Amino acid sequence: MSTTPPPAPKTRLPLDTSASRQPALVTPAPWGTLKRFTDARIALGRAGHSLPTAAHLEFQLAHAQARDAVHWPFDAASLALGLEHSGLATLQLRSAAADRNTYLQRPDLGRRLSEPSLQALTQWSAESPPAASYDLALVVADGLSALAVHQNALPLIAALRQRLQADNQTAWALAPVVLVEQARVAVGDEIGQVLGARAVVVLIGERPGLSSPDSMGIYLSASPRVGLTDAQRNCISNVRPAGLAVEQAADKLHYLLHRARTLGLTGVTLKDDSMLADPGGDGPAAAHFVI
C-alpha cells in the first residue's frame, strides 16, 4: 500500500514594511505650513476621498466640547465668593428665561431680568445711600459658555481694578458686581439703568466655536438703559488663554472706559485707538478688532 507524502511547507517571504514600499495612507495638503497661523481646520489632508481619521475624531471632540460649553452650569455662588474675597460686593440675579432650554429658544427673555430679580434689584437700589452714584457697573453673565466666564471673569476684573485704582486723577465708583444666570448681553442695560450707573460692562460667555469653547466677550455701554442697540456698544471678543490675553483685554477695556467717560458715548462712534496712543504696543493685540 503506497502513501502520498505530505506537501512540503511553503516558504514565507519576510514582509517588507518599510515606508518606501507602503502607499501613504494620508495625502498631506500642500499648504500645510499655513496651519501655524490659525486654529481653523485647514490643510487637513485626505485619506482617499475622505478626511483622515485623526482629523475626523478631532472634529467630533471639538463639537462635543462646544455643545458641553453651551450647557455648562453657571456656578454664580463660587464666582461671588471669589469676588467677595477680593473686596467686591455682589448681587445674584436671574433673567426672565426660566431654564436653559427656554434661554436657547427665546433670546428675548435672556435680555431682561425676571420679575423677582428686577424687584430685588430695584429695592436694593432704593435702599442704597442717597449719595451713591456709580461710575461703572460690572455684570458677569453665563451667556452661551459659562466655562468661559469661570475661567476668565475673575482675572479680568482683577486686572481692570488694578488699572482703575492706578488712575490717580479720577476715582471710579464701582457698583456691586451683578451675576446673572441665563443672560444675554442686553440684560446689562436694564441693570445699569436701575443702578443709575454711568456705564456698564458685561462679561459674558460667547457662542463656542469648534476651537474656542472658552471664549469670553466684553461689552461696554455708556448711559445704559433698556432699548440700546448693538451699535451703541463696544465689544472686545475672544478673551481666553489661546486668544486675547486677559492683560491685553484689560488694557483695551481701560482705554475704552476712559474714552467713553470723556466723550459720554460708546458704540460705532467710539473707536479703539489704543494702538495709536501707545505706539510701543505689540502687534498681536492689534489683530483683535474692537467694534
pLDDT per position as a tens digit, 214-273: 999 999 999 999 999 999 999 999 999 999 999 999 999 999 999 999 999 999 999 888
Which residues, other chains included, contact 270 with Cβ-Cβ below 8 Å and sequence gap of 6+?
234, 256, 259, 260, 263
Q: Give 280's pLDDT tier (boundaries 50, 70, 90).
A: very low
- State how far the alpha carbon of 273 is from the alpha carbons of 32, 183, 259, 283, 289, in Å: 35, 30, 10, 14, 11
Helix (H, G, I), strand (E, B) or coil at 189: helix
Q: Is the residue at 126 inside a domain?
A: yes
Question: Would you give the DSSP letter of residue 47?
Answer: B
| CATH for 154 | 3.40.50.11240
Question: Looking at the 3D structure of the chain, how many domains does it have?
Answer: 1
Q: Is the residue at 90 inside a domain?
A: yes
Q: What is the mean pLDDT of residues 281-288?
A: 41
How many percent of the chain have pLDDT more than 70? 84
Q: Is the residue at 48 inside a domain?
A: no
pTM over 0.85, yes/no: no
Q: What is the mean pLDDT of residues 93-112?
A: 97
Q: Is the residue at 143 inside a domain?
A: yes
Q: Give 8's pLDDT tier (boundaries 50, 70, 90).
A: low
Q: What is the mean pLDDT of residues 92-111?
A: 97
Instruction: Tell me what pLDDT residue 285 has.
Output: 41
281 grid coordinates: 504696543
Q: What is the mean pLDDT of residues 75-86?
A: 96
Q: Is the predicted pLDDT of residue 132 greater than 80, yes or no?
A: no
Q: Is the residue at 262 inside a domain?
A: yes
Q: Is the predicted pLDDT of residue 14 greater than 60, yes or no?
A: no
How many percent of the chain have pLDDT more than 90? 63
Q: Is the predicted pLDDT of residue 286 greater than 50, yes or no?
A: no
Question: Would you give the DSSP letter of residue 27?
Answer: B
> Domain residues for 243?
74-286
Q: Are 221 and 265 in contact (CB under 8 A)?
A: no
Instruction: Tell me what pLDDT residue 146 has.
Output: 96
Q: Is the residue at 49 inside a domain?
A: no
Rounded Cα–Cα distance for residues 206 and 220 (Å): 15
Q: Are 224 and 200 in contact (CB under 8 A)?
A: yes
Q: Is the residue at 69 inside a domain?
A: no
Q: Is the residue at 50 inside a domain?
A: no
